[in-house]
């Protein structure tokens, strides 16, 4: 029995449009930053913040751990690539080649069928943004981040850099120096957004960086599901993604943040995500990492309020030439907080998967509970799979458990399936999909299908 | 007094996780000689023993503190020789022997079997400094049982480095009783190069007052069907701090290797701090690896149950700790040592 999933078009992620832009800066200097700020016609405070971030970037050193980043040469990265269009509110107005790319990725179709709003970024700027009218009536704001800076300056100032400070690490300083695009979401008190919003980030320009900023505030008693997708065609040059996601979940609020990342395999994905969760609030992270040459991604949850909760469900799939260093950070900073982590990884064809985490239970987080489970699957012996979890317990009133497993596909399971008339190749693929199932079942249907497709794509010709 | 950065993990993680190494302030005394060493064995004629004082160590140093040894012991168990009775090495600190930087080399030749007990004692109340190294080489089919006990007093600094290499079918059972010393810094590095080689490491640690415990264990599997087991049970009270860094590293080619790692830390005070980094590194498809760590206070349901039998809270607590350590202690099969460990638990 063959899988019932749709056949995958191998090329949809690799569509290359002509490298056309209306404006472009290369490198990272004060002059470049002033140029970006001027083009964006930004308020002075934002330029000052960018220049301060550049100074911090130059002061901070490169990480002494994790994957090799020596191929990254900031003097060659296009730090700002303005597409040849402004933001549109109708797909019909988006230039044809750009629209075709998003069509192939299924974004407009998904918008019609299952989303409450869509943002589509192409290189450094959002080219399309929409939100359903009924959400606007309820006071929900969903707009591109550049527009938010101008239209909601007080709200932006109140939250911008407050979750992820400029000094967090070198690549976040870089982000703040050259950020462009991204989404801004505000869900007012008590409003439940039942249908997800989605932002899709597409990087087309070779040798470019994408530095979008996403800021989401889920106010008291409100709830939101937000989906983020990313992809790029493959070039020979190194591309860079150093985005930033700042999330705030207020008292009794709920946020599910899902990411399907399929950057091309020349991408350095050095992204930063962080959430601050208040009393009784919940953050759920669902993440699938398939693409990029190098990823360093550790979403951080700060459980600041009593009874706040964090659930993390993630999968990484590293193939040839990929080094995916992913994991999470959680700080339990209030009584009765809880976190549940379920992480899986698959390595094949020389790919490297590393699960890296730091979970802290602060002295005041009495009666907190932490449960971590990691599973890794190796599909051959030229690949690597490492688990590097730090567990930091600073109080006795805590239940902390961490377990991890590493191994291969069971020969017995393959043999069993083959006795049922299933080919060895399909049997292995079924087992890998089964392994990933706890993650894919957490995604909306379309994205679960996309993830399964990505798994099929990755497995093609690699096993069996 | 000087600050030292010691005991680097085999693989670094983010600096702000604060676990890649340990920063300690040590007051290292000037080089002195050490005399209080005893070896007890009923089989001295069957084995080769070489004792030297004041020898420069050229061994690789994983803890990272410069060493100029003042004592070295080398023991060889020749091919096909089995020594059933334990060979006991005892280093006793006193005011005139308060500084020890020793090397112990133990070699078991092919098919040799032996049991060793190595003990460090300093009962009196004075400060002593210990920076030891124990190297074990097991040739084909050799089997060794090693028990290392640190009963130094609570003012001492205790740094200890253990290195093993296991050839085909060699088996090494290792137990570490990490009780004494205000700074307990240990490094264990085991290379399972041989096919079917097996190393099990069982550890008990106990931290109180302002003790700092930094444990860095690393087992590497190279041989097919090699087996690496790490089982660590500990208790922290008062303001003791512990870093457990345990690594099982499956190297390419170690097909069908098994590696299991487990750490359980009981916290008896709000001020005690437990940090753990149980690493699994894997460069081989056909292996089975798992680790688990847990931290927390004593199970209240168990405490309550024992107290309903008329046992006081303090006694019930000690009983549970002893029960947690029991599997490891019973395996040592040494009543004297068991009593000494139980005495230390009673003093918590």
Say whether pLDDT at A446 is over 70. Answer: no
Helices and strands (DSSP H and E) totals, chain B: 3, 21
Name which of A398, A402, A406 is nearest B293 (Cβ-Cβ).
A402
- Non-local (6+) Cβ contacts of B291 within 8 A are A387, A402, A403, A404, B246, B248, B260, B261, B262, B278, B279, B280
* Best CA proximity match to B162, nearest among B218, B124, B207, B109: B218
Question: Can you tell me the distance from the alpha carbon of A182 to that of A165, in angstroms, rounded to the nearest whole number?
Answer: 17
pLDDT tens, position by position, A131-149 = 989 999 999 999 999 999 9
Alpha carbons B47 and B63: distance in angstroms, whole number = 30
Answer whether residue A461 shows pLDDT above 60: no
- Per-residue pLDDT, A82: 87
B12 and A64 within 8 Å at the Cβ level: the answer is yes
pLDDT of residue B56: 64
Buried b (16+ CB within 10 A) or exposed e, A363-396: eebbebbbebbbbbbbbbbbbbbbbbbbbbbbbb
Three-state secondary-structure class, residue B206? strand
Q: What is d(CA B106, CA B74) in angstroms, rounded to the nearest whole number?
A: 6
Confidence at B166, pLDDT banded by 50, 70, 90: very high
Q: State the ipTM, two decimals.
A: 0.92
Cα–Cα distance between B155 and B124 in angstroms, integer? 10
pLDDT per residue over B87-135, tens digit each?
A: 999 999 999 999 999 999 999 999 999 999 999 999 777 889 999 999 9
The reported pLDDT for the residue numbered A109 is 85
| Residues near B338 by beta carbon (within 8 Å), at least 6 away in sequence | B329, B330, B332
pLDDT (tens digit per residue) in B186-214: 999 999 999 999 999 999 999 999 999 99
Distances in Å between the Cα of A415 and the Cα atoms of A77, A329, A423, A456, B323 are 50, 39, 10, 20, 43
- Three-state DSSP at B343 gives helix
Three-state SS at A148:
helix
Cα–Cα dist A277/A262, whole Å: 28
List, in sequence order, every residue forming a beta bridge with A318; answer none if it has no partner: A347
* Minimal C-alpha gap between A108 and chain B (Å): 40
How high is the mean pLDDT of chain B?
94
Note whether B20 contacts A: Cβ–Cβ < 8 A: yes
When CB atoms are compared, the residue of B270, B272, B275 closest to A391 is B275
Is there a contact between B280 and A387 if contact means CB atoms under 8 Å apart? yes
User: Parallel, antiparallel, or unpaired for β A352-361 and A323-332?
Assistant: parallel
Q: Check: CB of residue A173 under 8 Å from CB of residue A167.
A: yes
Q: So what's the pLDDT on residue A11?
A: 59
B313: left (phi over 0), alpha (psi -120 to 50) or beta: alpha
Confidence (pLDDT) at A464: 31
Q: How far apart are CA A269 and CA B220, in angstroms?
A: 31
In this complex, the residue of A65, A363, A389 whose CB is nearest that of residue B277 is A389
Residues in chain B: 348
pLDDT at site B70: 92
Which site among A338, A355, A390 would you substitute to test the B interface, given the most B Cβ atoms closer than 10 Å to its Cβ? A390
Query: What is the rounded average pLDDT for all residues in chain A?
Result: 90
DSSP state of B125: S
CA angle A105, A135, A40 (to 5 degrees): 65
The yes-or-no verdict on residue A24 having pLDDT over 60 is yes
> pLDDT tier at B348 (50, 70, 90 boundaries)?
confident
Q: What integer pLDDT is reported at residue A452 of this predicted model? A: 75
**Percent of chain B residues topping a pLDDT of 90:** 88
Q: What are phi and psi of B111, to 5 degrees?
A: 60, 10
Specify the pLDDT at position A107: 84
DSSP assignment letter at B126: S
Res. A460 pLDDT band, cuts 50 70 90:
low
The chain A residue lying nearest B9, using CA atoms, is: A388
Could you read off the pLDDT of A367-380 as tens digits, one per residue?
A: 999 999 999 999 88
A11-25, A283-297, B142-156, B187-201: least confident range: A11-25
Position A8 scores a pLDDT of 38
Rounded Cα–Cα distance for residues A217 and A141 (Å): 10
What dihedral do alpha carbons A244, A250, A252, A255 form, nearest 10°?
Answer: -20
pLDDT at A436 over 70: yes
Judge: B291–A390 Cβ closer than 8 Å, yes or no. Answer: no
CB contact under 8 A, A397 and B270: yes
- Give the integer Cα–Cα distance in Å for B260 and B280: 9
Query: Residue A454: is it exposed, middle or buried by C-beta count within 10 angstroms (0-12/13-18/19+)?
Result: buried
Rounded to 10 deg, the angle between the A96-104 and A107-114 helix axes is: 60
CB contact under 8 A, B288 and A401: no
**Are residues A308 and A339 in contact, defined by beta-carbon separation less than 8 angstroms?**
no
pLDDT confidence of residue A235: 80
Tens-place pLDDT, residues B327-343: 999 989 899 999 999 99
pLDDT beyond 50 at B71: yes
> Quick check: A376 and B272 CB within 8 A?
no
pLDDT of residue B123: 77
Q: Is the pLDDT of residue B230 over 80?
A: yes
Q: What is the pLDDT of residues A51-77, one digit of tens each?
A: 999 999 999 999 999 999 999 999 999
* pLDDT the model gives residue A9: 45
Please tell me the predicted confidence (pLDDT) of residue A114: 79
pLDDT of the residue at B321: 93
**According to the model, what pLDDT value does residue B55 have?**
64
Residue B234 forms contact with A (CB below 8 Å): no
If pLDDT is split at 50, 70 and 90, which confidence band does B52 have? confident
For the ranges A3-12, A277-286, B322-331, the lowest mean pLDDT is seen at A3-12
Q: Which of B274, B279, B297 sits opposite A388 (nearest CB)?
A: B279
Residue A40's pLDDT is what? Answer: 92
The residue with greater pLDDT, B40 or A3, is B40
Residue in this structure with the two tokens 């330029």, named with its chain if needed: A47
Q: Are A390 and B295 a contacting pair at CB < 8 A?
A: no
> Would you state the pLDDT for residue A449?
74
The stretch B52-73 carries a mean pLDDT of 83
Q: Do B13 and A393 touch (CB under 8 A)?
A: no
Q: What is the CA A176 to chain-centroid distance, rounded? A: 17
Please state, in angstroms and rounded to a whole number, the distance separating the CA atoms of residues B57 and B54: 9
**Which residues of B are less than 8 Å from A394 in CB distance?**
273
For an interface test with A, give the residue of B228, B240, B245, B280 to mutate (most A CBs within 10 A).
Answer: B280
Cα separation, A83 vs A201, whole angstroms: 13
Using a CB–CB cutoff of 8 Å, tell me whether B29 touches chain A: no
């Amino acid at each position: 029995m063959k899988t019932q999933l749709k056949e995958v078009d191998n090329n949809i992620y690799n569509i290359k449009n002509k490298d056309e832009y209306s404006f472009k800066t290369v490198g990272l200097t004060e002059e470049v930053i002033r140029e970006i700020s001027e083009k964006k016609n930004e308020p002075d405070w934002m330029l000052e913040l960018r220049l301060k971030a550049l100074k911090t970037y130059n002061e901070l050193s490169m990480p002494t751990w994790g994957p090799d980043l020596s191929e990254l040469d900031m003097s060659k990265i296009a730090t700002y690539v303005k597409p040849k269009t402004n933001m549109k509110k109708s797909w019909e107005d988006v230039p044809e080649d750009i629209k075709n790319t998003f069509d192939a990725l299924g974004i407009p179709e998904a918008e019609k069928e299952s989303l409450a709003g869509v943002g589509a970024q192409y290189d450094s700027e959002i080219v399309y943004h929409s939100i359903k009218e009924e959400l606007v009536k309820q006071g929900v704001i969903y707009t591109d981040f550049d527009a938010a800076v101008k239209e909601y300056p007080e709200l932006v100032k109140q939250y911008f850099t407050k979750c992820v400070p400029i000094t967090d690490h070198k690549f976040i300083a870089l982000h703040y120096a050259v950020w462009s695009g991204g989404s801004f979401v505000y869900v007012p008190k008590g409003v439940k957004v039942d249908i997800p919003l989605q932002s899709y980030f597409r990087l087309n320009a070779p040798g470019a960086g994408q530095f979008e900023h996403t800021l989401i505030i889920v106010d008291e008693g409100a709830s939101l599901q937000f989906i983020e997708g990313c992809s790029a065609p493959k070039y020979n040059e190194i591309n860079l993604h150093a985005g930033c996601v700042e999330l705030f979940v207020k008292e009794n609020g709920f946020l599910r943040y899902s990411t399907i990342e399929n950057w091309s395999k020349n991408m350095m994905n050095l992204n930063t995500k962080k959430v601050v969760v208040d009393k009784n609030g919940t953050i759920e992270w669902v993440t699938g990492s398939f693409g990029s040459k190098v990823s360093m991604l550790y979403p951080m949850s700060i459980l600041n309020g009593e009874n706040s909760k964090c659930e993390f469900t993630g999968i990484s799939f590293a193939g040839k030439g990929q080094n995916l260093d992913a994991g999470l950070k959680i700080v339990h900073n209030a009584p009765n907080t809880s976190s549940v982590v379920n992480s899986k990884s698959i390595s094949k064809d020389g790919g490297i998967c590393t699960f890296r985490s730091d979970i802290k239970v602060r002295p005041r987080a009495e009666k907190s509970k932490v449960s971590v489970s990691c599973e890794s699957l190796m599909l051959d012996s030229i690949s690597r799979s490492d688990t590097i979890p730090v567990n930091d317990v600073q109080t006795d009133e805590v239940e902390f458990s961490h377990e991890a497993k590493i191994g291969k596909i069971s020969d017995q399971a393959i043999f069993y399936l083959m006795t049922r008339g299933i080919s060895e190749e399909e049997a292995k693929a079924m087992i890998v999909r089964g392994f990933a199932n706890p993650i894919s079942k957490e995604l909306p249907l379309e994205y679960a299908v996309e993830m399964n497709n990505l798994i099929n794509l990755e497995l093609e010709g690699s096993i069996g | 007094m000087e600050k030292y950065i010691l005991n680097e993990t085999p693989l670094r993680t983010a600096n702000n996780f604060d676990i890649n190494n340990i920063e300690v302030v040590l007051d290292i005394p000037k080089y002195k000689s050490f005399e209080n060493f005893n070896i007890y064995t009923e089989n001295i004629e069957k084995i080769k023993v070489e004792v030297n004082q004041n020898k420069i160590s050229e061994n690789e140093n994983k803890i990272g503190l410069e060493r100029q040894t003042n004592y070295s012991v080398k023991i060889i168990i020749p091919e096909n020789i089995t020594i059933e009775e334990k060979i006991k090495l005892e280093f006793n600190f006193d005011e005139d022997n308060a500084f020890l930087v020793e090397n112990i080399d133990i070699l078991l030749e092919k098919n040799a079997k032996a049991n060793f007990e190595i003990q460090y004692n300093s009962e009196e109340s004075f400060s002593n400094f210990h920076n030891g190294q124990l190297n074990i080489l097991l040739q084909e089919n050799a089997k060794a049982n090693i028990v290392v006990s640190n009963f130094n007093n609570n003012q001492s600094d205790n740094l200890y480095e253990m290195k093993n290499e296991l050839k085909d079918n060699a088996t090494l059972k290792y137990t570490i009783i990490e009780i004494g010393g205000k700074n307990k810094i240990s490094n264990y590095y085991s290379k399972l190069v041989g096919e079917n080689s097996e190393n099990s490491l069982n550890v008990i640690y106990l931290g109180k007052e302002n003790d700092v415990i930094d444990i860095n264990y690393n087992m590497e599997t190279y041989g097919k069907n090699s087996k690496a087991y790490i089982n660590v049970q500990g208790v922290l009270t008062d303001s003791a701090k512990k870093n457990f860094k345990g690594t099982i590293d499956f190297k390419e080619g170690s097909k069908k290797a098994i590696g299991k790692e487990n750490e359980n830390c009981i916290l008896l005070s709000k001020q005690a701090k437990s940090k753990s980094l149980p690493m699994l590194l894997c460069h081989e498809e056909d292996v089975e690896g798992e680790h688990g760590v847990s931290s927390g206070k004593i199970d209240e349901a168990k405490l309550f149950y024992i107290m309903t039998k008329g046992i006081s809270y303090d006694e019930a607590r000690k009983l549970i700790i002893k029960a947690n350590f029991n599997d490891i202690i019973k395996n040592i099969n040494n009543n004297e040592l068991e009593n000494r460990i139980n005495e230390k638990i009673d003093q918590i």
